[in-house]
Structure 1
Amino acid sequence: METLRFDSRSVDATEEFLSTAYTPMRIGGPVEDARVRISRRAVEGLSVDRLSFGYDMAFDAHGLPGVCLISMHSGTLVDRTGGHEQVYGPGDTFLLAPPGTPYRGEVRSARYTIAMFDPALLAGFDPSGADAPVRLTGTRPLTRPAGRALGSAVAHLRDHVLGSPATPPDGLLVSTAAQHLAALTLAALPHTARTDPTPTDHRDATPATLRRALTWIDAHADQDVTLADIARAAYVTPRALQYAFRRHLGTTPLAHLRHVRLQAAHRELLAADPRTTTVTKIALHWGFAHQGHFAAHYRTTFGTTPSTTLHRNA
């Protein structure tokens, strides 16, 4: 786990830090209160930063290597990339700029969270199954509910996956959170993979496709699994796979994967010794970072709490 902290009242030091931590940039504009606080937690190509600026700061920056999502908590951020002005305020979650695209604008006495991940994650959710990389073509979410869902995913990553220095997340936990964030990014933002379904996608959504996918998921639920992995194992496109699950099970491949992991966590709780393990440890092992969500899913599925299951023979 990589951790980083920066606290300064020097504009020059801030410009140097931002250029090193993110991308080369130039800070402009008059500054009266130069307070800046930044913290970062990062692991395996996934990072979350908390930033607080006590002043208005204009910036002109090179492109970032990753998908950079911003959730605003206070103040405003003005995006002036490409000569167009967009203003974001508290409650907004948006893409700062497509990866590799220079950006410019202004931060006005703002607090916000940045979540950044590898653009390669987006390819696994291309419903067409094309080999071409998925490109994000817009920065503002298409709908308010999509924007709220994206903001919740950023907060989940910040507070429950990378939030505790005492419990560094394992690989499955990180990959599950990263895939969730990538999926919601594509659901919220315009991109090149928004294509119409093909006749082949509908034709391939068969019970045989579903059986191949279910068998593969059962055998690999304890591993880092993506939608593209399941589709390859079933010999169909991701979109055909999604149609098969919707048509025959009324769910999605990744929702079913979560259910399989929940069943595995249930079995582990039944077999565990409460003197040597905890509900949290088992939940994290199976990719459930938010203990409240895990408990709610568990109660809905099994009619009891994880703690009751663990301590039933104590």
Structure 2
Amino acid sequence: MGTLHFDSSDLGVTEDFLSRHYARMRIGNGTPESSRARIRREAMPGVSVDELDLDFDMRYAVTPLQKICLCVVHEGTIQDHSFGDVVEDAFGPGDVVSFAPPELPYEGRICGARYNITMLDPGLLSQVAATAPGAAPGPVRLTGHRPVSDAAALHLKRTIVHVRDHVLADPEIASEPLVTSTAAQHLAASVLAAFPNTALIRPTGTDRHDSHSATLRRAVAHIEANAQDPLTVAEIAAASHVTVRALQYAFRRHLDATPLEYLRRVRLAHAHDELRDADPADATVTAIAARWGFHHSGRFAALYRAAYGRTPLRTLTGT
């Protein structure tokens, strides 16, 4: 985890800062009316979320970052953006895009823009996506740089804002491993839902055959024994000796839930036990919820009330 702040009106200092912390940049010639740059970065394992506000024009040329790099434009424009041999595009306010595949360089021009850059480890996509049985191993890839729909783009933007404002903005919450791993998976799932990609969704015949009750029992046992640790769907599937899709199909078939929904139920039960047994003088609902991966207090309270018919605070205080 980490936070980075930058605020300067010296174009030389800004150019050096951008080149050191992002990629090679060249601020345009001439004297802009304003030369101020404001940058804030929040980061957790596998994910960083940056807000940049630049009052001037500049060009950028980025060597392969080996990361998924998403951009949400708030104001201004990003022009002449290109990667690969044929892709060239321009982005304006409201646009959300994937800048380039992790292994490709890209370049373009920023024109007095305020925008968000969210970067994540490509391996997160494979953790939440199914892969075909017997296929050659390899990462899940995005196959387009524009979202599949306006609704998918809006959902992704809301997810980025949620991670930025409700996870990374609170150091106490961001220090909880279950919170950060869950938030990273949620972001990766939103990316896969937003952009065309190589992940397969429908279970194959083999997956359906493997989705029997024994698979479910192995998965449930693994979840219940390791609920205190960061868990991914891929790790649960590996412990159950089946593909991710077979695991998902087994849970849907037998429990009408996803593996992560069941994991959330188990963690909610652990939070309930801890609230019931804790001394209210030494514990808080927020701390116990975060310890079990629930970083949004309102959502935790709603889930808890639905499951136990009372608020978490009443359980903690014994009232």
Indicate yes or no: 2:110 matched with 1:104.
no
Per mean C-alpha deviation after superposition, the further-off stretch among 168-177 and 82-91 is: 82-91
For residues 244-255 of structure 1, what are the structure 2 equivalents within 5 Å? 244-255=250-261
Looking at structure 1, the residues matched to 27 and 202 of structure 2 have their Cα atoms a distance apart, in angstroms, of: 43
Aligned with 2:264 (options 242, 258, 261) = 258
Encode CA deviations 1:15-48: one digit per residue, 9 max, x unaligned.
Answer: 2212211223334465432211001122323222
Q: What SS does the aligned partner of 2:35 have?
A: coil
Encode CA deviations 1:224-273: one digit per residue, 9 max, x unaligned.
Answer: 10111010111110011111112222221112111211121111111111
Q: Which residue of 2 aligns with 1:3?
A: 3
Looking at structure 2, the residues matched to 62 and 196 of structure 1 have their Cα atoms a distance apart, in angstroms, of: 36
Percent identity over the alignment is 50
Looking at structure 1, the residues matched to 290 and 194 of structure 2 have their Cα atoms a distance apart, in angstroms, of: 27
TM-aligned CA distance change 1:29 to 1:231, over 3 Å: farther
For residues 194-209 of structure 1, what are the structure 2 equivalents within 5 Å? 194=200, 197-209=203-215
Q: What is the CA-CA distance between 1:79 and the residue it aligns to? A: 5.8
Aligned with 1:222 (options 218, 228, 247) = 228
Aligned with 1:114 (options 112, 117, 121) = 117
Q: What is the CA-CA distance between 1:5 and the residue it aligns to? A: 1.2
Aligned with 1:276 (options 282, 297, 306) = 282
Aligned pairs, number: 313
Counterpart residue type for residue 290 of structure 1: H
Q: What is the CA-CA distance between 1:311 and the residue it aligns to? A: 1.6
Contact 1:28 1:57 in 2 (8 A): yes
Q: What is the CA-CA distance between 1:126 and the residue it aligns to? A: 3.1
Encode CA deviations 1:132-186: one digit per residue, 9 max, x unaligned.
Answer: 1222222221122222221122112111111124654222211111111112211
- Unpaired segments of 5 or more residues in structure 2? none
TM-aligned CA distance change 1:92 to 1:271, over 3 Å: farther
Contact 1:27 1:60 in 2 (8 A): no
Looking at structure 2, the residues matched to 256 and 112 of structure 1 have their Cα atoms a distance apart, in angstroms, of: 36
Encode CA deviations 1:179-233: one digit per residue, 9 max, x unaligned.
Answer: 1111221122122223764211122122221121111111111101011101011
Counterpart residue type for residue 188 of structure 2: A
Looking at structure 1, the residues matched to 14 and 276 of structure 2 have their Cα atoms a distance apart, in angstroms, of: 52
TM-aligned CA distance change 1:173 to 1:240, over 3 Å: same
Aligned with 1:182 (options 188, 202, 210) = 188
Contact 2:46 2:120 in 1 (8 A): yes
RMSD over aligned Cα, in angstroms?
2.1
Q: Which residue of 1 aligns with 2:58?
A: 57
**TM-score, with length taken from structure 2:** 0.90
**TM-score, with length taken from structure 1:** 0.91
- Unpaired segments of 5 or more residues in structure 1? none
Segments ≥4 residues shifted beyond 6 Å: none
Encode CA deviations 1:80-134: one digit per residue, 9 max, x unaligned.
Answer: 2145443434443332222132122233332222222211222222312552122
Looking at structure 2, the residues matched to 68 and 136 of structure 1 have their Cα atoms a distance apart, in angstroms, of: 11
TM-aligned CA distance change 1:95 to 1:166, over 3 Å: same
Q: Which residue of 1 aligns with 2:22?
A: 22
Looking at structure 1, the residues matched to 282 and 220 of structure 2 have their Cα atoms a distance apart, in angstroms, of: 33
TM-aligned CA distance change 1:196 to 1:244, over 3 Å: closer
Counterpart residue type for residue 81 of structure 1: S
Counterpart residue type for residue 99 of structure 1: P
Counterpart residue type for residue 110 of structure 1: A
Counterpart residue type for residue 54 of structure 2: F
Counterpart residue type for residue 32 of structure 1: E
Looking at structure 2, the residues matched to 272 and 88 of structure 1 have their Cα atoms a distance apart, in angstroms, of: 52
Counterpart residue type for residue 131 of structure 2: S
For residues 107-146 of structure 1, what are the structure 2 equivalents within 5 Å? 107-128=110-131, 131-146=137-152
Indicate yes or no: 2:150 matched with 1:149.
no
Q: Which residue of 2 aligns with 1:211?
A: 217
